Amino acid sequence: YHLLCVIQRTLRESGIRHHWATLRTHLSGQVRVTTSMVNDKGQAIHIRHTSEPEPVHVKIYNALGLPVRPLRRLTTIE
């Protein structure tokens, strides 16, 4: 609860006055996606990346001092 209050206060100070449910709905649009495939050598390749942030995401992240792409692209070969 304390963390939620701090986040909402910080956003309000930046002019973002949404309810928590609205913030969750907005932020649910940015996702982490894994694409899997098998190459010609029979190895499984997994590529994991974050979708492009929408302007509303960027505004919220900037207000909170967070990076818009907190996780780097990750490729694994098995």
Local confidence band at 21 (pLDDT 50, 70, 90 cut-offs): very high
Contacts of 51 (CB under 8 A, 6+ apart): 29, 30, 31, 32, 33
Structure tokens at 74: 């990750």
Beta bridge partner(s), residue 77: 45
40-59 confidence digits (pLDDT tens): 999 999 999 999 999 999 99
Q: Tokens standing for 20?
A: 């928590």
Q: How far apart are CA 40 and CA 43, in angstroms?
A: 7
The residues that bridge with 46 in the sheet, in sequence order, are 36, 76
Q: Supply 63's token pair.
A: 């207000």
- pLDDT interval class at 70 (50, 70, 90): confident
